[in-house]
Amino acid sequence: MTSKLEFVRFPAPDGVNGWWESLPPAPPAQTVSSERSYDWVVIGGGITGLCAARRLAELAPDASIALVEADRIGRTTAGRNSGFFVDLPHDISSESYSRSVEADKADVRLQRHGIDYVRSAVRQHGIECDWRDDGKFHASVNKKGHTALAHFADGLSRIDEPFEWLDEAAIGKVTGTSFYEGALFTPGCSTVQPAALMRGLAATLPSNVKVFELSAVRKIDQRGGVNVLEFAAGRILAKQVVLCTNAYGATFGGHPNGLLPVYTFASMTRVMNQDEIRRLGGTRSWALIPADPMGSTVRRLGTDRICVRNHFAFRPSLEVSESDLANAKRLHQRSFDRRFPMLKGVELEYTWGGPLCLSANNGALFGRRDDGVYEAMGCNGLGLSRGSAAGKLIAEYALGESNDLVRQLLNQPHPRSLPVRPIADIAVSAAIWVKEFTAGAEL
Ligand SMILES: Cc1cc2nc3c(=O)[nH]c(=O)nc-3n(C[C@H](O)[C@H](O)[C@H](O)COP(=O)(O)OP(=O)(O)OC[C@H]3O[C@@H](n4cnc5c(N)ncnc54)[C@H](O)[C@@H]3O)c2cc1C
């Protein structure tokens, strides 16, 4: 019997996720430790898998559904990001986040659909995840950044989206730092404590979903029309499988899948004391992304910590080294010191990385594969809002529903395949290096 799907890369620790660490300890995980049967199994407990499992359960309340996660839900990438549910165009491969009017409008429609779905679950179940509908600031540090923001503003005007310009003094009043020369405020973005959200979404799934953690699927065989999923200590038999493993499903370098595991990194400070909070000034909580997509994302959290994200690295092995983490921490410290000279002595307590799943043409995988497995993978850096939508919509598609957004995802470009390795590795790493170098002052 040949396996129809073998899993070759699994989540690694990749540093210490500050969002997860600052939560109370998680209840013990339930693992796959015997043989069980389900109608549906969703693989991957990130935002995409969580939304897929929820939507399947809502639409098919009599079906039995398993959600299986290799690590703990909330500890992997969906729980280790910067927590921006971005509603607006956000093509990180473009210099100003925007694309064409039609593509931008389609992105906004899809992303808001995902945000609305998750927000309603948060409200319905009272999930404590610091959900805020406070918008975000796109800040620039020089003329080049300002020009990029002006392009972005033009793009927003073309699709009738509101925004507001802030001068140096106004953005300084928000952030407490004089580092930024101006900013564009857009009101539609929501922010969260991502690990708390993922845990909360898992804990409030409908009762026909059974969650297994610390349970990595190793391979899937087909036996008499049933999918047999093998784990280290058990197996699941399932009529249907939905694959939501994002970067862990990437097969690249000459292979048609075209998904690229590109890491990005974040650090979180310790909690600031009253004197440090006074020295910083500004408002209690804000969320800021850089004018150049390769610059630094910064959030001040309601918990009196600051979180900084920057730096990208192509890591086909799906794990980072100690030296990757040390390098990221050094870059974060430099970015922090440049922005917050008044916070000397506020250490970065946690540093971690996580894989994004990019593609050369911003394409993603959505639909039913030739082997009958459903898939929703390829976050392109924006998994919180796009993954929410893709997860919800793959469940609708798999249950035979059709609507405009399902059709939009079915018609999106397939990720462009890259040349064979190691040419692909060199090309991707070189592209990242050039983009980071040109981001310069925004880092
Ligand atoms: C530092 C950082 C900052 C970021 N900031 C933002 C942001 O502000 N906003 C935003 O939208 N995005 C952000 N991202 C990207 C975002 O985190 C991803 O787009 C998002 O996590 C994708 O969700 P997903 O569910 O599709 O995939 P993932 O979150 O990667 O989930 C896939 C899951 O599959 C599991 N898995 C893999 N293989 C197996 C297996 N064999 N068996 C069982 N389970 C398996 C993995 O453990 C993982 O939990 C950031 C990422 C990082 C690293």
**39: buried, middle or exposed (CB in 10 Å: 19+, 13-18, 0-12)?**
middle
Per-10-residue mean pLDDT of the chain, 443 residues long, equals 80 95 97 98 98 98 98 98 94 65 93 98 98 98 94 94 98 98 97 98 98 97 94 98 95 71 96 98 97 94 97 92 97 97 97 94 93 93 95 98 97 84 76 73 82
pLDDT score of 98: 67
Q: Which domain holds residue 261?
A: 5-442
Q: Whose CA is nearest to atom 51 of ligand 1?
A: 81
Q: Is 366 helix (H, G, I), strand (E, B) or coil?
A: strand
Beta bridge partners of 337: none
pLDDT score of 310: 96
pLDDT score of 136: 98
Query: How many angstroms does the Cα of residue 327 sit away from the middle of ligand 1?
Result: 22
| Separation CA 412–CA 400 (nearest Å) | 19
Here the tokens at position 11 are 């989540």
CATH number at residue 174: 3.50.50.60
Instruction: Out of 81, 309, 310, give the residue to mutate to test ligand 1, the one with the largest number of ligand atoms within 8 Å of its CB.
Output: 81
pLDDT score of 97: 65
Q: pLDDT digits over 13-65, tens only?
A: 899 999 999 999 999 999 999 999 999 999 999 999 999 999 999 999 999 99
Q: Is 408 helix (H, G, I), strand (E, B) or coil?
A: helix
Q: Whose CA is nearest to atom 2 of ligand 1?
A: 81
Q: What is the largest CA-CA distance in the chain?
A: 68
pLDDT score of 25: 97
Sheet (strand 136-140) strand order: 164-167, 182-186, 136-140, 286-290, 297-300, 306-314, 260-269, 348-358
Answering whether pTM is above 0.75, one says yes
- What is the H or E stretch that residue 66 is in? strand 65-68
| Cis amide bond preceding 293, omega within 30 | no
Q: Whose CA is nearest to atom 42 of ligand 1?
A: 216
| Phi–psi pair at 356, nearest 5 degrees | -85, 165
pLDDT score of 92: 57
Q: Which atom of ligand 1 is nearest to the CA of 78?
A: 21
Q: Does the CB atom of residue 43 touch ligand 1 within 6 A?
A: yes
Work out how many domains the chain is built from and give that number. 1
| Separation CA 441–CA 443 (nearest Å) | 5
